[in-house]
Structure 1
Amino acid sequence: MTLAALVAAFDVEAGAPRAALPLAGVTLVEHQIRRLASAGAERPILLVEQMAPALAAPLARLRADGIAVKVATSIAAAADLLAAEPRVLILADACLPDRALIERIAIAGVPSIAVVLDLPEHAAFERIDAEHRWAGIALLDGRRIAEVAQMVGDWDPISTMLRSAVQETAARIEVGRDVPVLAGSSEALHAAEARLVAASREAARGWSDRFLEAPIAEALLPQLFARSIQPSLPALLSAVLAIGGGLAATGGYRWLALVPLLLAGPLARMGQRLSLIQARRVPGASWLATARLAGRGLAGLGLGWWLMRGDGQWGWLLTAGLLVGLMAALFAARGIVAWLGDGEDPEWLATPAALGWALLPFGLAGLWGWGLGAITAYAGASFGWTLVRALRLAR
């Protein structure tokens, strides 16, 4: 069954709609509509009193990403678009629910409304009875929207729809801990941004990610928000740096290789975090990840090549080739372990990014040969441990 959405955007803050307020690098309305779309809302409608210039750019970005949002400047126009819809998510002005709450309401029966207890901390929400307040999201049908349009015209249509649903004993869904944010102040926006950042945190992918790359990425997220950076920019830059580092290594420029490779990790993390926070897809993400791997592999071979040219020992190139082969084998072995369902890998296991950070202290000491040997042994130990693990699981 299709799912539509109606998002109210009447309230104005400092001369612009609150829906256009900046939040985590984009606007509030983009977060609202992207979350609704991710819950399955195929026909999002933005209900405004009049089309404000501040909404033009956010709507253009949504449409560029394939979200066909339409604008209705009256409840009558919205009713014409939604009258035949059996399920319509209703979102109050400047209300930002968590994705989990939207998904809970989206699969509920019609009509349903999300509620919070009538407590002092929920005073910003609209009271519907002596015990509850509306949490800002509901699931109604298009017929009710058409009836409200005929009854009240443009006079407080969202509240009228809510009252109508309450009178018809709509199912009430307690939000629990998923209390939505009402972005009516700078404090509320800061709280919403903090929740977005916290929700985007993922399990660490190894010790270098946990202790270095993820903390660097999170520390720089506010700077990315302030400059409205799109997720594709740091993701693309990380791939460019990795390829550039690999090429620099083949030319014997060891620090010009290692530094970009180290920077590529946090940048990739930033792109991933922004993608989760803004619910925006990074075009060609798999190709960019492949480019980063190729750049790191090329850097390893380049280091071995120049060590061999320095002292004439062909074993350095063999060691570099062994390193690349071990990491490829480790990748395959980890895939087998994951397929057999043995849970997460230990943090100490070698990753392409971790090898760069492990090489750093050797480079600072000028011991590049020792460093290449050490990270090859590290990759070998990781592969051996994972292979034994896979064989035990296979038995």
Structure 2
Amino acid sequence: MLTATLPFGGVTLVEYQARLLLAAGASQIVILVARLTPELLGAIARIGRRGIAVDTVRTAAEAAEKLHPLSRILMLADGLTTTEATLAMLAREGGDALLVMPEDQAGQGYERLGGGTVWAGVARLEPRRVSELAAMPRDYDVQSTLVRLASQARAVHVVLQHDAMRGGHGVGHSGAALDIRSRAAMASMISGRRGWFERFIIAPLARALVPMLVPRRVPAGAVAAGAGAGGLLGLALVAFSHPVAGLLLCVLASMGFSLGAILADLRDEPAVRRGLDAAAVALPGLAALAYGYDASQFSGDGAPWVLAIGVIVLAVFAERAADGIERRTWWGSAAGYLTLVWLGAVLAAPVAGLGVAATYAAATAASAIERLRREP
């Protein structure tokens, strides 16, 4: 089996690499491969569904024909696993550049560059390097020769960050090593989520469960179905005046939707991920509204209902303002607001719980808006 089609993070390695390239802004993917296997053809078809051109070539001459003369090329080593942040360092404008690391920190499978450094698996190349290689005899190894050509052209050396190794960066062809790096990459992706609820509650849960779910190929839809059933039961309990159990179920169901979104993200299912992210936000809102309405009916006072509407409006403003910018750790989220509402239900103080949640959402919205104003 080709290294490119070994499993990694719920997909094949080449699909994971393509996802990194897409995140870096790639508009074309060229795969240099000696033979096309059914597994590779299936992976290429799935990559192509993302709307990007995917070409397979056997030689440097064929690759040179596929590439635009003004393009900027990112070359990934066979068997490379890395992170989006690491790839972004090489995806910037500029000439030839090589990602390097000290030789004493590298294992087997790395290209030595001399001077105590090795190539860490990512290179930014000018198109003429491929043309230069195409003019050479065909028995030259494409990957190694391109690295040598870039090095001879005084390519900039970009040192690999130490954190990247913990995030799953590595080069190798062993299935066991890929499995270890896959777990590290998944943990890094999950831990990078911002917001206290996501970082301290969702991330530890995902780190514990996702490595068990991915090898068993549990679909994100199955996780979503379980979360949906729990959410519907929770809404029913809230509507029938059992808010403590009902709101807790809704919080857990929202966490389930977030877990399903992480699985969909790992398996490169953007439409499913967007749907589950929306469900993880919508369910807490519906639960807060149902709780506010039931509490108002029970007390004969409209304050809980008004506060519930206020929580929803302020939370929407906060999410809109925080969209696309780096979130601060203390900022709230839909499940976080509902957790405060649940604590109010536990204390039999619906007005206090909803009021605190509304205040928290208002503070998050104000902070996000202020941050947007300060950005250039």
User: What is the TM-score with the length of structure 1 in the denominator?
Assistant: 0.74
Which structure: larger Rg?
A: 1
Q: Please name the residue that 1:52 is paired with.
A: 37
Q: Specify whether residues 64 and 324 from structure 1 end up closer, same or farther in structure 2 by C-alpha distance, changes over 3 A only.
A: same
Give the percent of matched residue pairs that are identical in Structure 1 and Structure 2.
26
2:118 to 125, 128, 133: 133
Aligned pair 1:324/2:313, yes or no?
Answer: no
1:191 is aligned to 181
Matched residue, 1:375 = 353
Preserved CA contact (<8 Å) 1:95 1:136: yes
Deviations 1:177-215 (A, max 9, x none): 245411322134313431342243245534x55554433
Number of residue pairs the alignment of both structures matches? 366
- Most deviating of 226-235 and 264-273: 226-235
Question: 2:26 is matched with which residue: 31, 38, 41?
Answer: 41
Q: Summarize the Cα distance change of 1:357–1:19 in structure 2 as closer, same or farther, 3 Å threshold.
A: farther
Distance 1:298 1:74, change over 3 A: same
Q: Quote the residue 1:314 is aligned against.
A: 300
Q: CA deviation at 1:338?
A: 6.7
One-letter amino acid matched to 1:89 = L
Q: CA 1:284/1:160 → structure 2, altered by over 3 Å: closer, same or farther?
A: closer
Alignment of 1:331-342 (within 5 A): 331=315, 334=318
The alpha-carbon deviation at position 60 of structure 1 amounts to 2.0
Counterpart for residue 220 of structure 1: 209
Q: Is the 8 A contact 1:326 1:379 kept in 2?
A: no
Residue in 2 that maps onto 1:268:
257
User: CA 1:235–1:65 in structure 2 vs 1: closer, same or farther (change >3 Å)?
Assistant: farther
In structure 1, the residue matched to 2:48 is: 63
Shift of 1:98: 2.7
Q: Distance in 1 between matches of 2:366 and 2:27?
A: 48
Which of 166, 171, 174 matches 2:151? 166
Instruction: In structure 2, list runs of 5 or more residues that go unmatched.
Output: none
Structure 1 gaps of 5+ residues are 1-15
**1:118 touches 1:131 (CA, 8 Å); kept in 2?**
yes
Q: Which piece of structure 1 moves more, 65-74 or 271-280?
A: 271-280
Q: 1:90 to 1:295 in 2, by over 3 A?
A: closer
CA distances 1:115-170 after superposition (whole Å, capped 9, x unpaired): 22221534431112242222222122333323323322154121122222223333
Deviations 1:222-268 (A, max 9, x none): 13321345667756865675466435644668688546513322223
Q: How does 1:81-92 map to 2 (within 5 A)?
A: 81-82=66-67, 84-92=69-77
* CA–CA separation in structure 2 for the residues paired with 1:160 and 1:346: 49
| TM-score, normalised via structure 2 length | 0.77
